[in-house]
Structure 1
Amino acid sequence: MARMTGEERKKVLIKSAIKVFAEENYRAAKVADIATNADVTEPIVYKHFSSKKNLYLEVLTLIMEKTMKRFQNVIAKSMNPLEKLELIIKEYNLMIHVFRQELKLEFQAVSEIDDPDVKEIIATGYLSSFKLVENLLQEGMDQGYFREDIDPAFQAKLFVGHFIHVSSYYLSEVLEDDYSEQLFSYYLNGIVHDS
């Protein structure tokens, strides 16, 4: 078997860290458990990450960046701003099922919000989401898809807030299968320009 490159090993460690952090939480998780899960020794983890916190921050950053990248990729498939929002909703509904560990880890990170590094990563992720949606809403207003009287900055926060709401219900296992679809249908009906 070929030896892993440093970048390949780092990816394995991040995947292991996501699993362990999601199962335990940041404070309870041990670097030894991450190493065991990755089938390496603790010194190998520290070779790639200077500390547990450094690894945790990198994992959080990666999760936020991947979410944004997935949204950017799906909206590139349509020219219509309304369809772009619908594609983001569809993608998010897929993501909460496929990336449950990452979602759980992101929610757990809020309990670490007093740490300025964690706060910055979470805030950056949310602000990027707000801006992406705000731009789509403004584009849709300019093209006549959305009502002229909406505030795109406020509506973007409301839209992203719905994701947080749906995610908490999903993680708590109190979410009906069609709840998210109904919620976003209701949201979109409120902003779409009357024909």
Structure 2
Amino acid sequence: MTRLPAAQRKEQLLDTAAELFSRVGYARATTAELAKAAGVTEPIIYRHFASKKVLFVAIIERAARETMNHWEERLAGAADPAERIRRLVGDNPMVTPEGRARYQVFLQAITEVNDAEIHAAVSSHITDLHAFLSRELKRAQDERKVTKVFSTELIAWILIHVGLGYGVLAAMGVPHQGEDASGVHVQQMLERLLVGSKHAD
């Protein structure tokens, strides 16, 4: 077993656990399997995380931070509110290779685990994401770039609902989901409905 600084070991355990949970499921994964996959002993795991559930919650919280960082980086350099909305609509972190692995953990937390603490961690992320989207939409509404027919809170929920649904189906490998026979994608439709098109038809 290679000795690592505590912070580095903790990140390694989070990475290994996320891969293990996404492959076999939270409920079926054991700390013995995790220790073997990480190349450590079980006491090393418990030195960093009090239980498997604490580890799972830590993965959710880290994934939430990484998702928000992804959005912030994606919006960097875009001053125009309409362009910022286009980037938000056109870039779903759930369908990137890194994002898919992160969100598989979220989906397990929602569908497999009946635990208040785990659900609270997921709910906290969704609440933060909703607030973030609402702020961006409010900015666009204030500059008349997004319709005011509906509240920013409601539009933000629509984006979350569509994003989660699209991400789930993408993770399942459903062919051609989210597009019509001509190849127009649901993201293009949302962009057009919210801020119009950069180009004339």
When the two structures are superposed, what TM-score results if normalisation uses the length of structure 1? Answer: 0.90
User: What is the Cα deviation at residue 97 of structure 1?
Assistant: 2.8
Select which of 176, 184, 191 maps to 1:188. Answer: 191
User: What is the Cα deviation at residue 88 of structure 1?
Assistant: 2.5
User: What is the Cα deviation at residue 154 of structure 1?
Assistant: 0.3
The question of whether the paired residues in 1 share the 8 Å contact of 2:89 and 2:159 is answered with no
Greater helix fraction, Structure 1 or Structure 2: 1
The question of whether the paired residues in 1 share the 8 Å contact of 2:130 and 2:160 is answered with yes
Identity of aligned residues (%): 20
Aligned residue identity for 2:34: I
Matched with 1:116 is: 116
| Partner Cα separation in structure 1 for residue 184 and residue 22 of structure 2 | 26
| Partner Cα separation in structure 1 for residue 115 and residue 7 of structure 2 | 28
Residues 90-143 of structure 1: CA distance to partner in whole angstroms, max 9, x if unpaired?
4425x5231222221111110255311111111111111111111111111111
Matched with 2:95 is: 96
User: What is the Cα deviation at residue 175 of structure 1?
Assistant: 3.9
| Partner Cα separation in structure 1 for residue 30 and residue 157 of structure 2 | 35
Matched with 2:24 is: 24
Matched with 1:33 is: 33
The question of whether the paired residues in 2 share the 8 Å contact of 1:144 and 1:193 is answered with no
| Partner Cα separation in structure 2 for residue 194 and residue 48 of structure 1 | 50
| Partner Cα separation in structure 2 for residue 158 and residue 49 of structure 1 | 36
The question of whether the paired residues in 2 share the 8 Å contact of 1:130 and 1:153 is answered with yes
When the two structures are superposed, what TM-score results if normalisation uses the length of structure 2? Answer: 0.87
User: What is the Cα deviation at residue 72 of structure 1?
Assistant: 1.8
Q: Aligned pair in 2 of structure 1 residues 45, 25: CA closer, same or farther (>3 Å)?
A: same
| Partner Cα separation in structure 2 for residue 139 and residue 71 of structure 1 | 16
Q: Give the 5 Å matches for 1:1-195.
A: 3-92=3-92, 95-99=94-98, 100-112=100-112, 114-176=114-176, 179=179, 182-192=185-195
| Partner Cα separation in structure 2 for residue 174 and residue 35 of structure 1 | 34
Superposed structure 1 runs of 4+ greater than 4 Å apart: none
How large is the Cα RMSD of the aligned pairs?
2.4
| Partner Cα separation in structure 2 for residue 71 and residue 115 of structure 1 | 28
| Partner Cα separation in structure 1 for residue 119 and residue 153 of structure 2 | 21
